[in-house]
Amino acid sequence: MVNRVFLIGRLGRDPEIRHTTSGSAVANFSIATDERWTDSEGNRQTRTEWHNIVAWRKLAEICGQYLRKGRLVFIEGRIQTREWDDRDGNKRRTTEIVASNMQMLGGRGDADEPSRPQDQQQNNMEIGITDDDIPF
């Protein structure tokens, strides 16, 4: 059995960094991926999917240090669903991606300014994707 996820998307917010009682860092953030298609009437359609990401320990620290809202990232990880009881005793459930690998895409100032096309193309080639694979 395999539980492996590969996502390329933009951060919806800056990572939130916390520490467990044992001192392990944990980062929480979300990324958006887009699906684009042409409907039967010839109109371009877009659907955005939001993914909750959790990173632990050193990866969490790196995410907190370098990632900012709007940044284009590659995330590799696994899907995990957690359940808990809220304050009112209701069962809650969330599905998230537990990151095992993160790679920043685009230029250094990607979140603030667009990177040069040749920089983006070079970064994409490093992980074996083309511009057609990116949902943005």
* pLDDT value of residue 132: 54
**pLDDT for residue 2 is more than 60:** yes
CA-based nearest residue to 73, from 116, 3, 15, 4? 15
Q: Which residues constitute the domain of residue 40?
A: 5-129
134 within some domain: no
- pLDDT band (50, 70, 90) for residue 131: low
114 within some domain: yes
Q: Hey, how many other C-beta atoms are within 10 angstroms of the C-beta on 41?
A: 6
123 within some domain: yes
Q: For residue 52, what are the CA distances in angstroms to 34, 63, 73, 82? A: 15, 14, 13, 12
135 within some domain: no
91 within some domain: yes
3-state secondary structure of 58: helix
Domain count, the chain: 1
Across 34-46, average pLDDT: 91
Across 26-41, average pLDDT: 93
Taking the complete model, does pTM exceed 0.95, yes or no? no
CA-based nearest residue to 6, from 106, 79, 86, 87? 79
